[in-house]
Amino acid sequence: MLRLHASLDARREPAFAALLRELDGVRRVVRQPDEAAEGGGTVFFADVEPMAADRLVEEIAAMGISVDDYLLTRVEVVAPQGRGVGGRGVDGFAWVEVMGQARANSRPLARYLALINVAAVIAALGVISSSGILIVGAMAVSPDLLPICATCVGLVAGRRKLATRAFATLIIGMVVVVVTAAVLSALLKLTGLLPDGFRVEDSSLHNLVHLDYSTVLVAAAAGIAAMLSFETGAAAAVGVAISVTTMPASAYLGVAIGGGGIEQALGAIVVLVVNIALLLLTGSLTLLVQRNLPNRSGAPV
């Protein structure tokens, strides 16, 4: 369930009140005087079912209401779990929510860069020590799911700037993983902590750089899971499955650059490119299907 909080001047109040009364999926409308507004005004509160959110935002924009005058937030519903617009539950899908998340995750924020660096260190040590547990730990930390999904949203929505910014954030993250893994491996080699004659192909994880049918199928399935998790707020739980297609290959390449064996690790670039392409393809197709499912509000993204 979504919660609308809007502040309107006296001129727009009647039309806005009529909109809330007539729009399916808007419930429990409350109207109060806005004591802080100059010349008087009204504050509206209403519960909005996700299926009606896109239509509501479209109508608000058509009325010329500024984005600073209203707020739409998600509220967790404990009970009752009733049926919403079109027979859907109250915890459905709203395009406006997906777009908001995509914009927030399309930039290389400091937290994103910090987490990707931590994941790179863990993954590099996993490759060096042939530890699958460390690789899984790195995938759990990695935040690369977010810019992947944001890129898909930008592509499907036709928002070139959003898609470009999110894709650049993803590429920056992958480059950071390679560079961090390379620097760590070089330092370990310089200090003698890396065994003499170490070559990355000696790692039991050398299969990370070989492209086969399983690599393609895993990446394709991961793209679907990524987008579904992004829509439902379950990204934290699915992030590990997504990073299996990006983090290991990036770290393997970095270790090869810094520790030795680069001629045997160039396949990691191919694996990484194919995985990212499949993630974006299947993620975008999943979102496109979601956009055109029956009972959607039909509002443009």
Q: Which CATH number fits the domain that encloses residue 81? A: 3.30.70.120
Give residue 68's domain range: 2-92
Residue 35 pLDDT exceeds 50: yes
Same domain, yes or no: 80 and 103? no
Among 26-30, 212-216, 260-264, the least confident range: 260-264
**Do 172 and 274 reside in the same domain of the chain?**
yes
Same domain for 156 and 243, yes or no, is: yes
Q: Which residues of 133-163 are buried (b: 16+ CB within 10 A; e: fewer)?
A: ebbbbbbebbbbbbbbbbbbbbbbbebeebb
CA 225 to mean position of chain CA atoms: 11
pLDDT in tens, 113-165: 999 999 999 999 999 988 888 988 888 888 888 899 899 999 998 889 999 99
Residues 149 and 259 both lie in one domain: yes
Quote the pLDDT of residue 205: 76
Domain count, the chain: 2
Are 158 and 84 in a shared domain? no
